[in-house]
Structure 1
């Protein structure tokens, strides 16, 4: 079966969650005998036409010149190209900048779309943008033959809002079992003597609330903020917390070995995401034996249950930083239970098998 994956900046991952998904999924599907095409931005760091058996097609992407508008042009270019590829199934990861071109998707190819999270809930967007995102979401449903939800919450939402059925397939992770403390030397860190977060620096990821809690706690150990900070909001945060030297803005890190080790050796890993389905960085933290302090919301609680500590306000963050000790038995039990969830529910091999089954189930079944 021939599968095309569109909707990402490309692989190997140099950006974020959907790119990571495309990377693991493409590799796993090739291993299972699928022919896989992944669409890459023309300026992606990887410029070859094949990567570990995955076909790479580069399409012109003017995002660096036009900003967000460039994403729409890139998605259009990908869709125009995939029309010529005679694929069995197109897997569309997200819909935000591609759904307006949905009418151009090839009619004889099955289109299945991972609907991502509730993008229009993101606080960074104006009301006008949120209105467009709701419209784009409706087009994503309209022009897809099948839908994938990566959380039960999203599945329920699609059912209620659009009367649309979707296949639940979570995001994946791989259990990290080869810690190497020597990586900490590069960052001048000591195992379990620092706290951290990994996120896009955006308001809905609770970055400011978490860092306000760090300031309130006034503990001396380092607090790492990993994510691209060369943005307007990143600059705001750096300016606000510039006098608090324990807060270190590291920037984006995309080397999984480095990320896994930083998570593994941290004291508390903060996960502040409030919007979306099964968030990739949350599963990766679980897989890296991190003691997680998560924003108290249904999306996070569905994944973590009782195997996390939670925060709502900066006071909660400060209290945890002052009182939680990583090696206490109650927290070690949480780590054990989260590792079991990864191996039994969220392992990438299991997730890839679910995608493969989905493709076989939907091949040739077009509802348009």
Structure 2
């Protein structure tokens, strides 16, 4: 098959979850002798025309100059270019800034869209932006030949709201086998004597609930907040908790080896995401051997099941910090390792996409 991937800033990954996924999938498909192209922003650090056998198509992206609206222009440029390439399949990762151009997608190409999370529910957006995102979601459904849901919750939502079937294929991860305490020195913490969260500092990620609970517990142990805090909401959080020296805003950390070690050696890893599908950072936490306390919602429970504990309130967080069942650590960690290996391994995930593409093309 001749396959294109759009909707990312490009590969190799220098940004986030969809880029990481595109990297794994494109490499796998090339190894299976498919012809694969990935669209990259023109300012992507990797400027070659091929990567690991994958064709790289750079298109103009003005986001750095004009902000978020530049994503719409970049997606338009990618879609217009795709019209002359003769692709059998276009995999569209997300719909936020691309679905308004859906009418321009090539007529003879089958479009498969990963619908990502419920973007319009994100509280960081104004009411008008939320309304637009809901409209964009509707267009994403309309102009796709097949939908992919990366969580059972998203699959159910698409069926209930649009009466559309979708294929459930989650995000992927891998089990980490080797650990080292060396990186802990940089963060001035001791193994299992600190807790942490990794997230974009946004309200829907339960940041305040978690930090309120940490503040309430007053255990005297460090709590690492990993994520870009140089934002309006980040400034608000730093002001709110400046009285508590144990709550430490350390900024973004993008080295996966450091993140895996920090998660593994933490007392508790808090996962507060409330919106979206199979969150990549949750699977990474499972694969790194972290002891997880997650926000109690359908998305998280569908992944973790009984192999974690859950919170809804700051009192729940306080209770978990003080009373987390450490006798369950090995049981929870090993069960989550098994899940990653059997259900969420990258090899399994990317092979499911290949199977889906074969089915869609043959329809």
Counterparts of residues 183-262 of structure 1 (less than 5 Å) = 183-262=183-262
Once residues 87 and 132 of structure 1 are traced to their aligned partners in structure 2, the CA distance between those partners, rounded to angstroms, is 29
Tell me: CA distance 1:221–1:49, structure 2 relative to 1, closer, same or farther (3 Å).
farther
8 Å contact 1:151–1:169 — kept in the other structure? yes
Tell me: CA distance 1:182–1:306, structure 2 relative to 1, closer, same or farther (3 Å).
same
Q: Which residue of 2 aligns with 1:12?
A: 12
8 Å contact 1:110–1:364 — kept in the other structure? no
Count of aligned pairs between the two proteins: 363
The Cα of 1:343 is off from its aligned counterpart by 0.6
Q: Which residue of 1 aligns with 2:84?
A: 84
Once residues 37 and 180 of structure 2 are traced to their aligned partners in structure 1, the CA distance between those partners, rounded to angstroms, is 34
Q: Which residue of 1 aligns with 2:315?
A: 315
The Cα of 1:132 is off from its aligned counterpart by 0.9
The Cα of 1:186 is off from its aligned counterpart by 2.3
SS at match of 1:140: helix
Alpha-carbon displacement from aligned partner over 1:110-134 (angstroms, at most 9, x marks no partner): 1100011111111111221111111
Residues 103-112 or 238-247, more deviating: 238-247
Once residues 187 and 52 of structure 2 are traced to their aligned partners in structure 1, the CA distance between those partners, rounded to angstroms, is 31
Tell me: CA distance 1:242–1:47, structure 2 relative to 1, closer, same or farther (3 Å).
farther
Once residues 9 and 84 of structure 1 are traced to their aligned partners in structure 2, the CA distance between those partners, rounded to angstroms, is 21
Q: Which residue of 1 aligns with 2:146?
A: 146
The Cα of 1:273 is off from its aligned counterpart by 0.3
Alpha-carbon displacement from aligned partner over 1:336-356 (angstroms, at most 9, x marks no partner): 111111111110100011001
Alpha-carbon displacement from aligned partner over 1:187-238 (angstroms, at most 9, x marks no partner): 2222111111111111100011111111111122221111122221112112
Once residues 14 and 221 of structure 2 are traced to their aligned partners in structure 1, the CA distance between those partners, rounded to angstroms, is 29
Counterparts of residues 87-106 of structure 1 (less than 5 Å) = 87-106=87-106
Once residues 256 and 29 of structure 1 are traced to their aligned partners in structure 2, the CA distance between those partners, rounded to angstroms, is 24
SS at match of 2:354: helix
Once residues 364 and 140 of structure 1 are traced to their aligned partners in structure 2, the CA distance between those partners, rounded to angstroms, is 22
Residues 87-96 or 329-338, more deviating: 329-338
Give the alignment's TM-score, normalised by structure 2. 0.96
Give the alignment's TM-score, normalised by structure 1. 0.95
SS at match of 2:348: helix
SS at match of 1:56: strand
Counterparts of residues 1-368 of structure 1 (less than 5 Å) = 1-324=1-324, 328-365=326-363
8 Å contact 1:88–1:364 — kept in the other structure? no
The Cα of 1:311 is off from its aligned counterpart by 0.6
Residues 183-192 or 66-75, more deviating: 183-192
The Cα of 1:296 is off from its aligned counterpart by 0.5
What do you get for the CA RMSD once the two structures are aligned? 1.4
Once residues 230 and 45 of structure 1 are traced to their aligned partners in structure 2, the CA distance between those partners, rounded to angstroms, is 23
Residues 33-42 or 104-113, more deviating: 33-42
The Cα of 1:364 is off from its aligned counterpart by 5.0
8 Å contact 1:109–1:364 — kept in the other structure? no
Tell me: CA distance 1:201–1:164, structure 2 relative to 1, closer, same or farther (3 Å).
same
The Cα of 1:306 is off from its aligned counterpart by 0.9
Once residues 27 and 249 of structure 1 are traced to their aligned partners in structure 2, the CA distance between those partners, rounded to angstroms, is 36
SS at match of 2:69: helix
The Cα of 1:98 is off from its aligned counterpart by 0.3
Alpha-carbon displacement from aligned partner over 1:254-284 (angstroms, at most 9, x marks no partner): 2211211111111110000001111111111
Residues 208-217 or 290-299, more deviating: 208-217
5+ unaligned residues in a row in structure 2: which ranges?
none
